[in-house]
Structure 1
Amino acid sequence: MEKLVLKTIKKYGLILPGQILVAAVSGGPDSVAMLHLIRKLTVSWGVKIHVAHLNHMFRGAQSEEEACFVAGMAQEMGLDCTVESFDVPSYISRTGLSPEEGARNIRYSFLQRIAQACKADAVMTAHHANDQAETVLLHLIRGAGPEGLAAISPREGNLIRPLLETGREEILHYCREKRLAYRMDPSNEEDVYQRNKVRLDLIPRLKKLNPQIINALTRTANICRSENQLVQEITEEAMGQVELVRQERGATLDLNRLDQFHLAIRRRLIRKIVDDFTHAPGSLSFDHTEDILNLRPGKEICLPGRLYARKEKGRLIFSRCPNFPQEDFDFFTPVPLRVPGITRIPQLNISLETEVIPWPEPHYVKNKNSAAFHLNVLDGQLFVRGRLPGDRFQPKGLSGTKKLKDFFIDEKIPHEQRKAVPLVISGDKIIWVVGYRTGEQTEATPLNEKALWIKVKKLSRA
C-alpha cells in the first residue's frame, strides 16, 4: 500500500516537501490509515500535518466519542488538531438540503477555514478506489456523460486525495498490519440510501462478473477524466468563436457560429453559458439542453433559475424571465424528507410519513395520498418542494419527459391550485406529483424486497 500511495502522490504532484497539510480525519479506517501512512511517508520531507475533525451531531454520544478518539490519536502522534461540532441536522432543516449535501457543505467549509488559519497548502481527504468505483456507478445509473464518469479527481483545487488509487481491502489490511484502532459509522451499513445499496449489493454482484471491477471502474474514471479535460479545452476555445454577447439580464450568441461545432461541443457551450450567467453550475439537465438546441425560431422555453431561451434573427438569446412573477410560483423552500420519519410542511398543512417496509406489503393500498417506491430512488437527496419554472416530469407510462406545466394542464389542475401541489424529488428528478402521478420506473415492483412507503396526511389543527 505504501508504494501505491507514494506512486499516486508523485504521479499527480499531490504533496511536496515543506508543505503544510490539513488532514480530514473522521476516525474511520480510511482516514486513520491515511493519516498514519502520510505522516510516515513525509516524515523526512519536512511536511507538517494538522488534523481536523468535525462532529456533525447526527449520532449523539457516538459522534462525541469519535471526536474524542480523533483528538486523542492526534495527541499521541504529536500533531496539532482542531475538533469542532456543528448542528448539521438543524442546518439541513433550515436550508432544505439533503443530509449528505448539507454535511458535505459544512464539512468542506470547516476544512477550508482550518486550512486558511493554518496557512496550509492542501487539504487531504481519504477518498479511495472503492469510493471512486461507487461514484462512477452512481453517475452511470443517472445517465451521466464523460464529465460525470470522470467522478472524483485526485486533485481539486487545494483538495488532494492520496488514497484514490488504493482499494478499501488494502486499507483495511494496512490497519490490521499496523494495529491501528478506528471507529466504524453504522450508517454505512444501512441499505436505505443509493450509495450504500451500490456498495453493499451492486458491487458484490458485479464482482462475480469481474473480480477486478473496482480497478476497471477506476480505470474508466481516469480515461473519462483525461478525455473530459480535452473536451473542456476545446469548449473554452469555442467560446471565443460563437460571438457571445453578455448583458446584465441576458446573453446572446450567433447560431451559425454555434452550429459549426460538433454536437458534443454545442451541448457543452450551452451549459457553460447558462452556468456562467446563473452562477449555478449544473442547473441545466440533459433534457433542458436538448430543448434549447431544438428550439424553433420564434419560440421560447422556460429554464431553471427563472431564465428563458429563444431563437430570433439567427441568434440564441438567454434572458431573465420577466413573465413569471413571484406570486405565480409561490413555491416553498425544499424540505428534506426524513427516512424513516415524519416531515411536516406547515405551509400546506400536511405531513409526509415515510418508512422502509418489506415488499410486497399485503396491507399497502395505493391512492392519491400514498405511494410505494423502490429504494433505488433514494440517492441521499430526497426532498419535497413546490414547482419551479422549467420543471419537467416523466409520468408513469410515458416514454419521455414533459413540462410540468403541460402535465398540470393535461390533469385539468386549476392554475390557482398548482402552486400548492407538493413534488417529491430525488436528486433532480420528480418521482411523485403528490395526489396525481408517480414517475416512470419509480414505484416498487414485485421484484423488490423492500420499498419506501410515503403517506401524506393533513396536519392536526389542535
Structure 2
Amino acid sequence: VGVSGGVDSMVLLRLLEEFSPVAGFRLHVAHLNHLIRGEMADKDEMLVCDYCKRKGLAFYVKRVNIPEYAEKEGISLEMAGREVRYSFFREVKRSLPNSVIATGHTLDDHVETVLLRFFRGTGVEGLRGIPIKEGDVIRPIRFARKRELYQFAKRNNVPFNEDHTNFLEIYPRNIIRHAIVPRLEKDINPNVLGAVDNLSRMAEELMDYLKETLDKLYKRFVEEKTESLVCLRIKRSDVLHPFLLKAFLRSVMIDFGVDPSKVTYSKITELYRLVCEGHAGKRYDLGDNISFYVDRDRFYLKVEKLVNWDEIEVPKNGLVENQYFTVKTEVLSKGKVEFEKDNRSVELLDFDKVKGKLILRRWRQGDRIRPLGMKGYKKVSDVFVDCKVPLWKKDIIPVLADNEEVVWVCGLVMSDNYKVDEETKNVLKVEYYEK
C-alpha cells in the first residue's frame, strides 16, 4: 500500500487492515519522502512509521530529493513525484511475490484528472482519467468522495496529516478542486462528479474496444520496428476513418516513446495530414529527439542522433567501421575473384584505375557518379531519390571516393569508370554492411 500520511492513503490503509483477515492477504506499507515540504514531510514519514510500528505492519521508507530529480529530468514536480513514487513501489513489489500495489486515489482525484486533461486538450484516451485497475496497480477507493474519507477518519480516529499546499490555488489541480468543481456542482449539476465519471467509463470502454482494432493495424502497417526506428507503410488505397487513423498514429507515437503528455491533438492532426498527403521529403519534429519523416507511402518515426562522422581512409586490405556501418576491403588478382550477382553489399572495382587514396565520406551537394552502363553522369541526390532512400538515411550511407570522384554510393550504385573489364589485373573487393 502506498501511504503518504494524508487522509486518502491513511483511510485506505485502515480499510485494508480491517479487510485483510477476511480476504487472507498481508499488508506491506511503502512511504516515499519527497523532501519537498521540509518539516512537514518528516512529520508525514514519522506518522506512517509510528502507525505501522503500532499496528505491527511491515513498512518500507525511502527518501528522494524530488526537486533535484525534476530539474535533472526536465519535468514537472508532479510528474517527477509520480515517476519516483511508482518506481519505489515496484521496487518493493519485486521483493514480495504475488503482490499488487494499492493507492488511495479517490473519485475527486479521478474527476480532477479528467477535467485537467480536458482543459489542456486531450484525446479520448485521456478522458479515461485514473483507472480503478491498471496493470499491477489497484485503486480500491476510487469510488469514494474525499469528504466521505474525512468523515470516516473522524468517526474511526484515523490519524492523518493535512498538506497545506493542497489548498493553495496556484496549482491547476487545486483550482479545479476548490473553484471549478464546486461552481459546477452549485450552478450546473449537483452530481457533476458522477457525470464526469460516466464519461470516463464510456471513454474507457471505447478504448478497450479500439485496442483490438489497433492491434490489427499494427500488424498491417508496421513494416519495421527497432529501438530507434519505426517504419509504417500506409498506401493511399488504405482508406481509414480519420478517427481510427489518428488513434493509430497516437498509439504508435506513445509506444515508440513520445511522452503521452506531449502527444497533443495538433501533433496528431499534423501527422494525419502528412500521411494523407504523402509528400516525400517532409519532416516533422515530435519533441524528445523524435522526428516523423515522410517518404511516399512509408512513414518513419526516428530517434534523432547527431549524424557526424569523419572521413575514413580505406586500406587495401582491412576493415573500417563507425557507428553506422562496417566496410571490409581486400585486393585480389582477377583470377581469384568470384563474381556475385544481385548482391548490393559487395562491389568489385578495378584497383589499378584508382588514381589517389580511397576514402569513405558523407555525400555532398554536387556529387556526381557515372552509373554502370551509362555514358553520362548522375547526381548522387538523384540516386537517393531513384533508390527511394529515406530522408533520414541519406547522411548515413557512405560514398566511396577516389580523391573527389565518386566510385560507389555504397549499397546502391557503382561507377562505370572503375568497372572490372578484360584488361583488369587487380580487383578491389569492397563489402559494405549497415549497422
Question: What's the TM-score, normalizing by structure 1?
Answer: 0.61
Distance 1:323 1:176, change over 3 A: closer
| Residue of structure 2 in register with 1:378 after alignment | none
Distance, in Å, in 2 between the alignment partners of 1:149 and 1:258 is 32
Distance, in Å, in 2 between the alignment partners of 1:308 and 1:27 is 43
| Residue of structure 2 in register with 1:129 after alignment | 107
| Residue of structure 2 in register with 1:186 after alignment | 164
Unaligned 5+ runs, structure 2: 310-435
Distance, in Å, in 2 between the alignment partners of 1:104 and 1:258 is 43
1:152 and 2:142 matched: no
Q: Secondary structure at the match of 2:27?
A: strand
Distance, in Å, in 1 between the alignment partners of 2:75 and 2:2 is 22
Distance 1:307 1:86, change over 3 A: closer
1:236 and 2:215 matched: yes
Which amino acid in structure 1 is aligned with residue 135 of structure 2? G
| Residue of structure 2 in register with 1:312 after alignment | 295
Aligned length: 304
Distance 1:108 1:253, change over 3 A: closer
| Residue of structure 2 in register with 1:460 after alignment | none
Residues 232 and 299, structure 2, Cα contact 8 Å, conserved in 1: yes
Q: Secondary structure at the match of 1:273?
A: helix
Distance 1:237 1:115, change over 3 A: same
Q: Secondary structure at the match of 2:28?
A: strand
Once the two structures are superposed, what CA deviation does each residue of 1:150-177 show, in whole Å capped at 9, x if it has no partner? Answer: 0101111111100011111221111122
Residues 2 and 30, structure 2, Cα contact 8 Å, conserved in 1: yes
Query: Which residues of 2 match residues 41-440 of structure 1 at below 5 A?
Result: 41-119=19-97, 121-208=99-186, 209-242=188-221, 244-246=223-225, 250-256=229-235, 259-278=238-257, 281=260, 283-295=262-274, 296=277, 297-303=279-285, 304-321=287-304
Distance 1:280 1:95, change over 3 A: closer
Distance, in Å, in 1 between the alignment partners of 2:247 and 2:120 is 18
Q: Once structures 1 and 2 are overlaid, which stretch shifts more, 130-139 or 38-47?
A: 38-47
Distance, in Å, in 2 between the alignment partners of 1:56 and 1:266 is 41
Distance 1:185 1:229, change over 3 A: same
Distance 1:292 1:323, change over 3 A: farther
Which amino acid in structure 1 is aligned with residue 244 of structure 2? I
Deviation at 1:42?
A: 2.6
Deviation at 1:258?
A: 7.5
Distance, in Å, in 2 between the alignment partners of 1:49 and 1:180 is 17
Deviation at 1:86?
A: 1.9
Distance, in Å, in 2 between the alignment partners of 1:110 and 1:318 is 31
Once the two structures are superposed, what CA deviation does each residue of 1:27-52 show, in whole Å capped at 9, x if it has no partner? Answer: 11111111111111232222100111
Q: Secondary structure at the match of 1:253?
A: strand
Cα RMSD between the aligned structures? 2.4
Deviation at 1:301?
A: 2.2
Unaligned 5+ runs, structure 1: 1-22, 327-462
Distance 1:33 1:316, change over 3 A: same
Distance, in Å, in 1 between the alignment partners of 2:178 and 2:25 is 37
Deviation at 1:253?
A: 2.9
Q: Secondary structure at the match of 1:43?
A: helix
Residues 275 and 282, structure 1, Cα contact 8 Å, conserved in 2: no
Residues 128 and 168, structure 1, Cα contact 8 Å, conserved in 2: yes
Distance 1:252 1:213, change over 3 A: same
Q: Secondary structure at the match of 1:227?
A: helix
Distance, in Å, in 2 between the alignment partners of 1:115 and 1:73 is 21
Question: What's the TM-score, normalizing by structure 2?
Answer: 0.65
| Residue of structure 2 in register with 1:364 after alignment | none
Distance, in Å, in 1 between the alignment partners of 2:227 and 2:60 is 43
Residues 259 and 266, structure 1, Cα contact 8 Å, conserved in 2: no
Query: Which residues of 2 match residues 13-28 of structure 1 at below 5 A?
Result: 23-28=1-6
Residues 69 and 80, structure 2, Cα contact 8 Å, conserved in 1: yes
Distance, in Å, in 2 between the alignment partners of 1:107 and 1:252 is 34
| Runs of 4+ off more than 6 Å | 322-326
Which structure is higher in RCO with an 8 Å CA cutoff and minimum separation 6? Answer: 1
Distance 1:221 1:117, change over 3 A: same
Distance, in Å, in 1 between the alignment partners of 2:30 and 2:227 is 41
Residues 165 and 218, structure 1, Cα contact 8 Å, conserved in 2: no
Which amino acid in structure 1 is aligned with residue 215 of structure 2? E
Residues 30 and 61, structure 2, Cα contact 8 Å, conserved in 1: yes
Distance 1:60 1:120, change over 3 A: farther
Q: Once structures 1 and 2 are overlaid, which stretch shifts more, 297-306 or 243-252?
A: 243-252
Residues 107 and 142, structure 2, Cα contact 8 Å, conserved in 1: yes
Distance 1:313 1:114, change over 3 A: closer
Deviation at 1:111?
A: 1.2
Distance 1:249 1:213, change over 3 A: closer
Q: Secondary structure at the match of 2:158?
A: coil
Distance, in Å, in 2 between the alignment partners of 1:88 and 1:118 is 26
Which amino acid in structure 2 is aligned with residue 270 of structure 1? L
Q: Secondary structure at the match of 1:251?
A: strand
Q: Once structures 1 and 2 are overlaid, which stretch shifts more, 81-90 or 32-41?
A: 81-90
Deviation at 1:191?
A: 0.6
Distance, in Å, in 2 between the alignment partners of 1:167 and 1:38 is 17
| Residue of structure 1 in register with 2:17 after alignment | 39
Residues 275 and 283, structure 1, Cα contact 8 Å, conserved in 2: no
Which amino acid in structure 2 is aligned with residue 228 of structure 1? M
Q: Once structures 1 and 2 are overlaid, which stretch shifts more, 147-156 or 76-85?
A: 76-85
